Structure 1
Amino acid sequence: MRILSISGQNIASLAQPFSVDFTTEPLAGAGLFAITGETGAGKSSILDAMCLALYGDAPRLAGGAATDEVPDPSGDAIKARDSRAILRRGAAQGWAEVRFTARDGQDYIARWQARRARDKADGRLQNVSRSLSRAADGQPLANQLSAVNEMIVTLSGFSYEEFHRTVLLAQGDFDAFLRADTNDRAGLLEKVTGTGLYRDVSIRIYEGHDAARQAHDALIQQRAGYRLLSDEDRTAMEAENVDLTEAHESGITAAKALQAQLDLHTRHTAALRQLTLAEAAEEQAIADHTSAAPERGHLMRIDRAAPLRAPWLAVQTSETRLAAANIALVGARSLAAEATTKTATARQQSDRAEAEFTAREAEFKAFGPIRDQAAALDQQILSAATEVAAAEGQATRAAQEASALHVALTTLQTEEANHRTTLTETETALASLSADVGLADIWGQVRAQIADHATAREALTASEGEAAKHTEKLARLAQELATLTAQDQTDRTTEADLARQSAELATAISAVETAHPARRAGDLAALSSALADMIRAGADHAAASTDLANARASGEAATTLLATAQGDATRATDDLARAEAQVPVALLIDEAFPVVGIMPSG
């Protein structure tokens, strides 16, 4: 146990709060130090505060008798040994607190507190309150007087008397320690110096030595109880031992003979019991043999009949098989009659089917050249359809280009109208000009521009004519396209009619299949398909040939028109550009100076 700090207030002569910390300087490194001061300064009060906080008692309270009383400011009398008597006069409350390290290595805080009623100096003293808590986390461990005392004794290892007489020797108590008896002083010194371990070791050594001494004494006593034999006694005992050994061997031999006789008697008894059982079994067997005489006679008859059993079973089996064969014969004859009838019927049906098949096969062979022609026509139809599709695409593109040319022609016509308006405005302006404009010096250039203007006008006229032709051709191509569309609708209608006729033919073929064997169904289906193909091919051939010729002509015309239109469009664009550049000045000069009436002077 180690005291870390002592603090308190209103303990005996110490009125103000005080605290003595042994873990800080200068006390932490002082080692040995003394508490000094004048009488009444409070030296013993510090030690009293420590004892109060730990044990709730103080050395100064042990001076009076247990029955002595002292007056209290409240008017009541209290016992002289009451710990509340240490409260300073005129104080309403006081307390003492000690922080210490216990034997388990942890720090604890023990607190003692006394107070008066209503915190008045003349109030009645209240019960003392004590507490013990852990310093690390402030966890309360006990708050009752007896519980706190028990835990302090456990943690410190000292009771109050031991603590008072060893750790704390108050004034005048050192001589009491010296006057204590040996046992008390030894116990106190052991606790102070920690030599109790050596006392325990010495006790265990003493106890072990005492136990060993007692065992040695017991062995000595046992040895004293044994006595040595004399030579005569030893010889007599040896002779007795020999006699006993011989008697023991004789007894063993007699026991073996008796055991052999006993075994013989046991075997004899067992043999008699077996003989009795055998005689009883013999008698029972004779009785059973006598009673089984009828069964033996029956068995003898069975043995004599055994060779005849196989022929009898063979006869029975033959009769059963004969009856079954008769029944099967009747059924077979009935089935043969039915089979003969069915065979005749089948033969008739087969003959009719064979005749019909021969006729159909002849018809089918007759259609062979037609089928080959139809296949060729199908190929031509496919080629014609492809060419029609290509012609339609070219016609569509030609229509788009003709539409573009028509738009360009409309633009040219609009610009021509604008140019005519400009020409009118120019003529009006020239009318107001003087007739003697000096153009004689540039007459050659003007004449060339007039010629270019005439050429441009002719090109414009030609472009207008070509545009009209293109428009007419576009209308004609549109009409041809409408004709092709109508023809395609007619072909679709014809195809629907052929599909209906094919369905009717399929119905008729189904009726034929019902009247003919199933093996002809594949041939009839193929024949029906071929007939339908030939009918459809004959109907489509003429229309396809016409469409093919028309499509080829239309495609060629559309190609030619497309090339012509593209060349005309290019030339018209170039001529228009030149006309736009030359028309304003040329028109102005042409109107101002007619070619036939002006001649250059000089």
Structure 2
Amino acid sequence: MRPMRLDMAGFTVFRDETTVDFTDADFFALVGPTGSGKSTVLDAICFALYGTVPRWGGARGLANALAPSATEARVRLVFESAGSRYVATRVVRRDGRGNVKTANAGLQLMPAGFDVTKLDTGLSPEDLGEVVAGTPAEMEQAVLAAVGLPYEQFTSCVLLPQGQFADFLHAKPATRQQILVNLLGLGVYEEVQKRATERAGQAEAGLAAVDKVLAGLTDVDDAALAAATARVDRMRELSGAVGSAVPERESARAAARAATAALADL
């Protein structure tokens, strides 16, 4: 996943509309004094995709998305993944009772070659491309399909929370293996293994059925096998004779019908 552009407004320390353009950056570093919003930029990327941030302590920390005294926070992330370009949007609002909830969330597949600078011209959401997810509930599976990583793995190997880099290094081997499988697209080999195992199971079941049939033929000796083979040969000969007789029978039936018609005329 490669970020292309990040737009924020009312999001934590970014009360005013702020845009971070990553378009031409192959590598970048966020520098500045403590409290200038460096970590918040990374938080916004994670929030746009997954609706939460590690240091918030889960979805219950949603109120942290709002800047002080703000009633609405908006985050929009344009990113590329697997050759496609997407835009993820989340809007959080505080109601009259002080409750903070996600008012809008969506993921759209942008048209090929879409110029992100057009976002500055006030495009409507309908102009941004095909809607992949239109509600917060639909975002989880849609983002997983687009990015290829669930939230836990994204925050373990792509966007590591401060001070938690060692968590990935010290994770259980099975956990690290699954993360690398997702990152490197090795799931196809798991699917090959699954199908091969299924086919092997079917072959073993068929072999067991044949063995069962053969086990019931314990009284068969060479003489019985020769007799059965002779009967099969005789049946084949009889089948051939019947097949040859069928045209003669049809011819006889036709002659009988003609004779019956002639008698009726007389």
- Residue in 2 that maps onto 1:22: 22
Q: Percent identity?
A: 30
Once the two structures are TM-superposed, the CA of residue 38 in structure 1 deviates from its matched residue by 4.5
2:68 paired with 1:89: yes
Alpha-carbon distance between aligned partners in 2 of 1:37 and 1:202, rounded to the nearest angstrom: 49
C-alpha spacing 1:203/1:144, structure 2 compared with 1 (3 Å)? closer
1:113 aligns with 2:82: no
1:102–1:156 CA contact under 8 A, matched in 2: yes
Inter-partner Cα distance in structure 1 for 2:179 and 2:31: 27
Distance 1:126 1:203 in 2: 45
1:128 to 93, 99, 102: 102
Q: Which amino acid aligns with 1:86?
A: A
Tell me whether 1:138 sits opposite 2:128 in the alignment: yes
Of the three residues 171, 191, 204, the one matched with 2:195 is 204
Q: Counterpart of 1:128 in structure 2: which amino acid?
A: T
* Match for residue 189 of structure 1 among 180, 195, 201: 180
Q: Which letter does structure 2 place at the counterpart of 1:202?
A: Q
1:292-311 alignment, distance < 5 Å: none
> Shift of residue 17 of structure 1?
3.8
Structure-to-structure mapping, 1:94-493, within 5 angstroms: 94-102=73-81, 105-116=83-94, 124=98, 127-132=101-106, 133=108, 135-136=110-111, 137-138=127-128, 141=131, 143-227=134-218
Q: Report the Cα offset of residue 49 of structure 1.
A: 0.4
- The answer to whether the 8 A contact 1:6-1:21 is kept is yes
CA shift, 1:198, in A, is 0.9
Aligned to 1:359: none
For 1:8 and 1:127, the matched residues in 2 are separated by 17
Q: Distance in 1 between matches of 2:99 and 2:145?
A: 30
Give, in whole Å, the separation in 2 of the partners of 1:134 and 1:210.
Answer: 41
- CA–CA distance in structure 2, aligned partners of residues 153 and 40 of structure 1: 31
In 1, distance between residues paired with 2:202 and 2:182? Answer: 29
CA distance in 1, matches of 2:220, 2:128: 85
Q: 1:223 to 1:37 in 2, by over 3 A?
A: farther
Match of 1:53?
Answer: 48
SS in 2 for 1:165: helix
Secondary structure of the residue aligned to 2:67 is coil
Cα offsets for 1:515-555 (capped at 9, x unmatched): xxxxxxxxxxxxxxxxxxxxxxxxxxxxxxxxxxxxxxxxx
Task: Give 5+ residue unaligned stretches, structure 2.
Answer: 112-126, 228-266
Distance 1:228 1:143 in 2: 70
Q: When the two structures are superposed, what TM-score results if normalisation uses the length of structure 2?
A: 0.61
CA pair 146-213 structure 1, distance change in 2 beyond 3 A? closer
State the 1:201 CA deviation. 1.0
Q: 1:219 to 1:149 in 2, by over 3 A?
A: closer
Whole-Å separation in 2 of the counterparts to 1:230 and 1:85: 85
Query: Whose relative contact order is higher, 1 or 2, with alpha carbons under 8 Å and at least 6 apart?
Result: 2
Moved more, 196-205 or 169-178: 169-178
CA distance in 1, matches of 2:220, 2:145: 67
Contact 2:48 2:88 in 1 (8 A): yes
Which residue identity lines up with residue 7 of structure 1 in the other structure? D
Change (3 A) 1:101 1:216: same
Q: What secondary structure sits across from 2:128 in the alignment?
A: coil
Q: Could you say if the C-alpha distance between residues 114 and 221 of structure 1 is closer, same or farther in structure 2, counting changes exceeding 3 Å?
A: closer
Equivalents in 2 of 1:147, 1:14: separation in Å? 27
Contact 2:46 2:53 in 1 (8 A): yes
SS at match of 1:81: helix
> Quick check: 1:129–1:143 contact (8 Å CA) kept in 2?
no
Structure number with the higher strand fraction is 2
Alpha-carbon distance change, 56 to 229 in structure 1, aligned in 2, over 3 angstroms: closer
Structure 1, unaligned stretches of length 5 or more?
64-79, 239-602
1:143–1:230 CA distance, 2 compared to 1 (3 A):
closer
Letter in 1 for 2:66: L
Cα distance in 2, alignment partners of residues 204 and 134 from structure 1 = 31
Distance in 1 (CA, whole Å) between partners of 2:60 and 2:71 is: 20
Q: CA deviation at 1:53?
A: 1.5
- In structure 2, the CA distance between the partners of 1:92 and 1:208, relative to structure 1 (3 Å rule), is closer
Q: 2:219, 2:95 → 1: CA distance?
A: 94
Is contact 1:107-1:135 (8 Å) kept? yes
Question: What does the per-residue CA deviation read over 1:392-451, in whole Å, with 9 as the maximum and x for residues that have no partner?
Answer: xxxxxxxxxxxxxxxxxxxxxxxxxxxxxxxxxxxxxxxxxxxxxxxxxxxxxxxxxxxx
Shift of 1:52: 1.6
RMSD: 3.8
Cα offset for 1:148?
4.1
Offset at residue 46 of structure 1 (A)? 1.2
The offset of 1:184, in angstroms, is 3.8
Find the structure with the greater CA-based Rg: 1
Q: CA deviation at 1:21?
A: 2.1
- For residue 109 of structure 1, what is the amino acid of its counterpart? V
Using the size of structure 1 for normalisation, the TM-score is 0.30
Over residues 68-123 of structure 1, what are the superposed CA-to-partner deviations in whole Å (9 max), with x where a residue is unaligned?
xxxxxxxxxxxx823122323344543221012355x54332222334569xxxx9
Q: How many residues align?
A: 210
**How far does residue 36 in structure 1 lie from its aligned partner after superposition?**
4.5
In the alignment, the residues of structure 1 paired with residue 4 and residue 200 of structure 2 have an alpha-carbon distance, to the nearest angstrom, of: 45
The whole-number CA distance in structure 1 between the counterparts of 2:89 and 2:39 is 18
What is the CA-CA distance between 1:9 and the residue it aligns to? 3.4
